[in-house]
Chain A
Amino acid sequence: MALKTEIKIAYGVVIYFLFVGILSYTVFSADSPETPIRVMYKSATGKVLFDHKTHSGDTGYGLACKDCHHHPMEDDTDYRACGQCHIPGKAESLPKSCLECHDADEIEDTEMLNSGDAFHGQCIGCHQEFGRGPVDCAECHVK
């Protein structure tokens, strides 16, 4: 008798948790924040965890968006992820994102730094300029 009750409870538990689980994964699933908090960049030399909030927030280093997101210059609302223009491993190519606003012949200089060069220049350059922050490979890249 007790066994049958336990099995009935188990059926109830399955139905309840399945229902809650489906709702959690679909209707109430959490969206990514509009402004990233941290970003995990992946590369062949290991992942890099970048703390976006600490760099950009008023309580952090207080960098302005345009200090890193240098394009588009005029529009303060449309900042793109770095990797949309600086495509991993593809230097000197013309990313599709450029052609959303520009004609191909309008762009004189089609050289675009690949993401590795762009990030290294941006991160290490800034860290060296301010004399703070990691500059060696293993201080950012982890396997």
Chain B
Amino acid sequence: MIDRKKLVVSHAPFWHNGSSVAERHYNILFAAVPAAALGCFRYGIPAIGVVSFSIAFAIIWEWVMNLATRQAPTIGDGSAALTGLLLAMLLPATSPWWLVVVGTFLAIVIGKQIFGGIGSNPVNMVALTIAILSLSWQGHLDFNEALVNYDFGFPMVYPLAQLKHFGTAAIGSFSYMDLLLGRQIGGIGAPFGLALIVGGIYLILRGFIRWEIVISFLAGIFVTAMVFYGANAEKFADPLFHLLTGYTLMGAIFLATDDSSSPVGFIPMLIYGAVGGFMTVLIRNIGIWVDGVVLAILIANIVSPLLDKIRPKVMGEVS
């Protein structure tokens, strides 16, 4: 017997509230720009080059795929530009031009378009790209190696690399405030914790990303890191260090919250975020990789369709 109540919707006329896919992407771009701008300000022309090429080529690859698949152009919806900007924010400022071109190709063509374009990507394309680039050109994604020619007056070593290679004794020179204010090396936009948090709060308040995913991802990292830290404080870093270093905040706010690769239900979102956070710390603490955020998000993305089966909500239901 069909539950007829579930088929009832409000009657016409309907009023379009003006929201669109493009508006969503432009707002996320707006939220990401402060951290990217700080990165460009810090690293100068090389960072501007990476960001510019990344945005330009992401749109170009999207346009090429539009032509190849004979689809209406989707370059105006801001999705490709956003992908380009987020990718640039995770790359070192010294990334060569070809790495950016290959990276945007991986993100737009391999990560998104071959699955059917916007809304069809099973995993976050930026996380996928960083994972492939890290596997393929480890040296270019090693921040200690990539940024040897810079000196900003704070410890010029990648905090997570110090932790991984030399243990907790080597991270004593980093203060939480410094880490929060971006006084650490890393990607162009990823180290600027405060700017990312402000952007994230804006997106949550405007409803463009789900707080459930952001909070559960960060909580997953905090709780898991706390367990490790509680078990052996000399060997493992404390939870705050994990929250303020590497790709943590970029991942929580901009990567894990990707629409098509994350679940829609309340409980599934909480589990999804927690899986991402849990795996991040697991990879950092007992895996071989320095940072585990992108791989953890890819794993959570893969789990996402299964999580969506937990207490699914009927679409179109009027409460």
Stretch from A25-33, A69-77, A124-132 contacting the other chain: A25-33
What is the total number of residues of chain A having a CB less than 8 Å from a CB of chain B? 33
B52 near A18 (CB under 8 angstroms)?
A: yes
A1-32 vs B, CB cutoff 8 Å, 1 = contact: the mask equals: 00101111111011001101101110011101
A9 near B45 (CB under 8 angstroms)?
A: no
B44 vs chain A, min Cβ distance (A):
7
- Tell me whether B173 is interfacial, beta carbon within 8 Å: no
A23: which B residues are within 8 A, CB to CB?
A: 49
- A13 contacts which of B45, B59, B142 (Cβ < 8 Å)? B59
A30-73 vs B, CB cutoff 8 Å, 1 = contact: the mask equals: 10110011111000000101000100000000000000000000
B45 near A7 (CB under 8 angstroms)?
A: no
B211: which A residues are within 8 A, CB to CB?
A: none
CA A13 to CA B165, docked complex, whole Å: 42
CB within 8 Å of A: which B217-258 residues: none
Known: A18-B52, A20-B52, A21-B53. A30 touches B75 (CB 8 A): no
* SS class, residues of chain A in contact with chain B: helix
- B76 contacts which of A10, A21, A24, A142 (Cβ < 8 Å)? A10
- Tell me whether A106 is interfacial, beta carbon within 8 Å: no
Q: How large is the interface on B (under 10, 10 to 19, 20 to 34, 35 or more residues)?
A: 35 or more
B174: which A residues are within 8 A, CB to CB?
A: none
B149 near A37 (CB under 8 angstroms)?
A: yes
Stretch from B109-117, B150-158, B272-280 contacting the other chain: B150-158
What total count of A-B pairs have CB within 8 Å?
94
B149 near A49 (CB under 8 angstroms)?
A: no
A53: which B residues are within 8 A, CB to CB?
A: 151
- B151 contacts which of A5, A17, A37 (Cβ < 8 Å)? A37
CA A142 to CA B138, docked complex, whole Å: 13
B68-108 vs A, CB cutoff 8 Å, 1 = contact: the mask equals: 00000101111011000000000000000100000000000
Q: Specify the chain A residue showing the minimal Cβ separation from B77.
A: A6
A103: which B residues are within 8 A, CB to CB?
A: none
B83 vs chain A, min Cβ distance (A):
13
A30 near B59 (CB under 8 angstroms)?
A: no
B26-44 vs A, CB cutoff 8 Å, 1 = contact: the mask equals: 0000000000000000001
B148 near A14 (CB under 8 angstroms)?
A: no
Known: A32-B149, A37-B149, A142-B165. A21 touches B73 (CB 8 A): no
- B81 contacts which of A13, A40, A49 (Cβ < 8 Å)? A13
- Tell me whether A139 is interfacial, beta carbon within 8 Å: yes
| Other A-B pairs beyond A6-B77, A9-B76, 16, CB < 8 Å | A5-B76, A6-B22, A6-B76, A8-B76, A13-B59, A14-B56, A14-B63, A14-B75, A20-B49, A21-B49, A21-B56, A36-B149, A47-B144, A49-B145, A53-B151, A142-B161
**Interface residue ranges, A against B (CB under 8 Å):** 3, 5-11, 13-14, 17-18, 20-21, 23-25, 28-30, 32-33, 36-40, 47, 49, 53, 138-139, 142
